[in-house]
Amino acid sequence: MKNKNLLLSGIIVGFALFSTYFGAGNLIFPPYIGVMTGSNFSAGILGMTISAIFLPIIAVVGVLNSGGSMDTIMKPLGKRYMQFFFFINYTFLALGSTLPRCAATTYEMGVEPLLGNVPIIVSSVIFFTIFYLLARTKESVVDKLGKYLTPALLILLVIIVIKVVIDPIGLQAAPKVEKPLVDATLNGYLTGDLTLGILCGGMFISALKDQGYDDKKVRKGTYIACIVAFIGLFIVYGGLVYGGACLSTEYTLDAERTTLLIEIVHRALGNVGLMLLSGAVTLACLTTSVGLGANAASFLEELTNHKVKYKTWIAGIAVLCCILSVQGVTGLIDYVTPLFAFLYPIFIVITFLGIFDKMVPNDGVYKGGVALSSLFGLLDAIVIVSKSAALEGFVKSMPLGEYGFAWLVPTIIGMVIGYFLYKGKPRVQELA
């Protein structure tokens, strides 16, 4: 039966949007930002809100305004760029970071605290064996389990947040970084949720269209869903940032991110809370991995024209991610940091151009903006990997370079150049 209560429909879709962004692996970032910003935790909350909540949420609005799907928001860049976007997302981000991180988080939060000195490789082999058995048959039980796990995990975390705010678990030290807002914003990128907004935004918009609403109501319902998801993420992430700030006198920036989350939960709710959270995070990581792995395997099967079958890809993904997961959560974050430094400026440009799509005069604005943001994003990534003082000095000499936004002014210039190069050409070009 089609639901004709727009407010209720928007709220339901909002919870679905929230659960998509609310990956269990993302919970490790707010406490670390709290330790980083200490007594200036408000800057930490604001920074994480900008990059890990606001940008991913408005990405859905960008998809909506550009036509309602990932194809439409990427269309001005061409089919080949869209395939490149998918390839980077599924191989380097999903398989190279998110999936192994789910297994590593399961070990550090679910296995190690409860069972002691079990080697991480043993935990990962068991994790990806279960992953393979579930993902190869696409069992619907995984989706059903996820629907119950997300509300349960959310309720538990809200209880923890309330307890931490009412009864602080420690004292706040001075910030451990010179620019708390900038560093918190850049660390928030590591959740990777902006990519999800662009990739999955159309799915939530379609959910409202499928209920029979007209375009005007779909737009209003999407806004309601975005507000619901924003509020949920802000409460959880903001509370965990504050909890991390209360540990900043006792922990340094060398601390494991999972250790910080475990300590917050243990101090707030004791061993019982820790056991409940460990179990919930473990199962949530597994369901997230199965869904993500299935999508990646389907994409790779299509990319190889079905010459390499889905089940073969699932097996290969399980083996690869099992090997990568032994690096642990910190090692995987270190690996993906330069990649996000390269990609996030591109994602931000696509998001905002999507939001103002009706005002964009031609495809050259998209192409020029993405080209320059790619170039300066690549420079940021090289600085992180090479530690080159000369290149870092050049990047920081750019307008806003000191604040991590050296790409912004060149990107605007690229949009202007692209506009003139494509002036008079049709908008939007067909995929080819």
- Looking up residue 283, the CATH number of its domain turns out to be 1.20.1740.10
Same domain, 324 and 425: no
Residues 340 and 411 in one domain: no
Domain limit, last residue, from 359, 388, 405: 359
Domain end, chosen from 301, 334, 359, is at 359
Q: Looking at residue 90, what DSSP letter applies?
A: I
Q: Is-contact 323 363, C-beta < 8 A?
A: no
User: What pLDDT sits at residue 4?
Assistant: 67
pLDDT, position 1: 39
State the average pLDDT over residues 247-267: 91
Distance CA 243, CA 404 (A): 26
Query: Same domain, yes or no, for 230 and 319?
Result: yes
Whether 272 maps to a domain, the answer reads yes
Q: Which two tokens mark 103?
A: 């297994």
Judge whether 1 lies within some domain: no
pTM for the model: 0.85
Residue 255 CB burial class (10 angstroms; 0-12, 13-18, ≥19): middle
Peptide bond into 416 cis (omega under 30): no
Residue 284 reports pLDDT greater than 80? no
Q: How far is CA 395 from CA 104, 375, 403, in A?
A: 34, 11, 10
Same domain, 377 and 331: no
The pair of three-digit structure tokens given for residue 404, joined into one six-digit string = 């991590």
Residue 32 CA: distances (Å) to CA of 186, 246, 253, 258, 327: 12, 11, 7, 9, 19
Q: Is residue 32 part of a domain?
A: yes
Same domain, 302 and 406: no
DSSP codes, 161-201? HHHHHHS--S-PPPPSSS-HHHHHHHHHGGG-HHHHHHHHH
3-state helix, strand, coil in the chain (%, to 5): 80, 0, 20
Burial class of residue 324 in the structure, from the number of CB atoms within 10 Å of its CB (0-12 exposed, 13-18 middle, 19+ buried): buried
Ramachandran region of residue 387, left (φ > 0), alpha (ψ -120 to 50) or beta? left
The secondary structure of residue 117, as a DSSP letter, is S
* Same structural domain, 257 and 309: yes
209/125 same-domain check: yes
Q: What is the CB-side half-sphere exposure of residue 147 using CA atoms within 13 A?
A: 7
Residue 233: both structure tokens together: 């993420």
- Average pLDDT score, the chain: 87
Contact 395, 401 (CB under 8 A): yes
Tell me: do 243 and 261 sit in the same domain.
Answer: yes
Confirm whether 203 is domain-assigned.
yes
Tens of pLDDT, residues 134-166: 888 755 555 555 566 677 778 888 888 899 999
Q: How many domains does the chain have?
A: 2
209-223 pLDDT tens trace:
888 888 899 999 999
Q: Quick one: 10 and 125 in the same domain?
A: yes
Measured CA to CA in angstroms, residue 355 lies from 5, 188, 365 at distances of: 26, 21, 14
Pair (335, 370) in one structural domain: no
Give me the domain span that covers residue 235: 6-359
279-283, 369-373, 404-408: which has the minimum mean pLDDT? 279-283
108 within domain boundaries: yes
Asked if the structure places residue 39 within a domain, the reply is yes
324 and 352 within one domain: yes
Q: Indicate the residue among 325, 359, 393 that finishes a domain.
A: 359
- Please state, in angstroms and rounded to a whole number, the distance separating the CA atoms of residues 340 and 304: 26
Contact 78, 216 (CB under 8 A): no
The reply to whether 21 falls in a domain is yes
List, in sequence order, the alpha helices (H) in 246-309. Answer: 257-303
Residues 320 and 385 in one domain: no
On whether residue 104 sits in a domain, the answer given is yes
Instruction: Quote the pLDDT of residue 432.
Output: 41
Q: Which residue has the higher pLDDT, 20 or 214?
A: 214
**Which of 26, 23, 91, 103 lies closest to 327 in space, CA to CA?**
103
Can you tell me the mean pLDDT for 247-271? 91
pLDDT band at 92 (very low <50, low <70, confident <90, very high): confident
Tell me whether residue 397 is exposed, middle or buried, using C-beta atoms within 10 angstroms of its C-beta: 0 to 12, 13 to 18, 19 or more. exposed
